[in-house]
Amino acid sequence: MPASDHRPVAGIRVLELAGLAPGPFTGLILADFGADVVRVDRHGDSFNTDTLTRGKRSIAVSLKSPDGISLVKTLVGPSSSSTSSASSRPEQWRADVLIDPFRPGVLERLGLDPEDLLKANPRLVIARLTGFRREGPYSKMAGHDINYLALTGVLSMLGRAGDKPYFPANLLTDFAGGGLMAVVGVLAALLERSRSGKGQIVEIDMVTGTRYASIFPLTVARPSTGMPTWSEPRGENWLDGGAPWYEVYKTKDGGYMSLGAIENHFYRVFLEIFSKELSSCADLPPHPSPDTQYDRSTWPDLVAFFTAGFAEKTRDEWASLFLNTDACCVPVLERHEVDAQGRGPGEPGRALDDETAADGGGVPAPAPRLVRTPATAGASDGPFLEPGRDTVEVLEAAGLGGKVRALIEAGAVSASDPKAKL
């Protein structure tokens, strides 16, 4: 099926209150698929370390200023021109979606109570992202990805046998359980709005979201399922490093190969190629039989055989041998070897240019892939977005062009656009 040239959420306007990873990731995805995303940075900041800026613009607003709070209320309120059928003016910039990345109670203390915002604009969708659940003993506490993951029951399942639990950086909770779940919630709310005409508050907490994203291991690990995939202690299961045929092995040149031959028919293909290439190596452990793949008593010998075998050739030699086979064995690529489309060496598509390779690889493109039509005019190409770069432009689009100078002088906003004419 050919890729679509339609950006599915084009025309949707998003006001993203600046925050850490999950909130910006939510905005990034919405921008990638067509939304006009404006990040609200802190007034006075000259730099924001957020790199998830592709397709976004920035305004800098003081949320400690009554004028700044009033401005945010205006940007998420109904457009005066859109409420008048007699008006011939273009619709003013007003948010369809507000992304709230703050801890429980912060919006309310700022004077931006979501219930009040919905009363002012019943079509607004408010995505509220918290780490811990909004209610409960941890709700008022500070935390990060590793803390939220610790409360899901999932962290206890990750890691090597006999070792402490091991966390997958901040990928699982911040991005899968947080940002991606927020995008799903926003899109569902927008779909419902298209039928009812009403917005709503979408609550996302990373503990619940991560449990949902981890539904497979949490379900199959139940004794009642009787499934062998995740029935043993940490690090002794099929998919967590316990099984020798689902593992990463070091090669002769210090590279690595990933082996994921779970099903026996794939395992047979792998073993046939692997054993054939090692047939002349007399000092290796005995070659295994494919019939004993799931026999746990054979796994220690399998680990020894695979470890010694992969060390006989370089990563690229093994990669070439397994390419175009069903052995489920491919190389572990370094980030500088992968381009923005996820392609590695030998795959169709462009190769990394020298500059991109030196910088550690391409920036991932949106998935599913779309044929990109032009994004919001003047939006960021990343990785950094200067706070307040688009303050004047956005406020003019909101019908507030005549108030920009007064807002700047009052300390409610700041503008860093050198081309802005005030």
Q: Which of 41, 174, 205, 390 is catalytic?
A: 174
Q: Does residue 58 lie in a domain region?
A: yes
Total number of domains constituting the chain: 2
Residue 188 has a pLDDT of 98
Flag whether 142 is in a domain. yes
Specify if 237 maps to a domain. no
- State the CATH number of the domain containing residue 319: 3.30.1540.10
Burial 196-226 (b: 16+ CB within 10 A, else e): eeebbbbbbbbbbbbbebbeebbebbeeeee
Q: How does DSSP assign 240-262, residue by residue?
A: TT-STTEEEEE-TTS-EEEEE--
Q: What is the mean pLDDT of residues 74-102?
A: 76
Average pLDDT over residues 320-331: 96
Asked if residue 159 belongs to a domain, the reply is: yes
Structure tokens that stand for 280 in this block: 């002349």
Express each pLDDT in 274-290 by its tens digit: 999 998 887 888 889 99
In the predicted structure, residue 370 carries a pLDDT above the cut 80: no
> Does residue 408 have a pLDDT over 70?
yes
Q: Does the residue 119 lie in any domain?
A: yes
Task: Mark whether 23 and 130 lie in a shared domain.
Answer: yes
Residue 316 pLDDT > 70: yes
Respond yes or no: is residue 174 known to be catalytic.
yes
299 and 388 assigned to the same domain: no
pLDDT given for residue 1 in this prediction: 40
Q: What is the CATH number of the domain that holds 388?
A: 3.40.50.10540
Host domain of residue 91: 13-213+365-414
Distance of CA 408 to the CA centre of its chain: 35
pLDDT at position 83 is 46
Instruction: Indicate if 80 and 117 belong to the same structural domain.
Output: yes
> Do residues 374 and 337 both lie within one domain?
no
What percentage of the chain has pLDDT greater than the value 70?
92
Same domain, 343 and 372: no
Question: Are both 103 and 202 inside the same structural domain?
Answer: yes
Residues 258 and 115 in one domain: no
Residues 95 and 165 occupy one common structural domain: yes
Boundary (domain end) residue, out of 306, 323, 349: 349
What is the reported pLDDT for 86?
Answer: 39
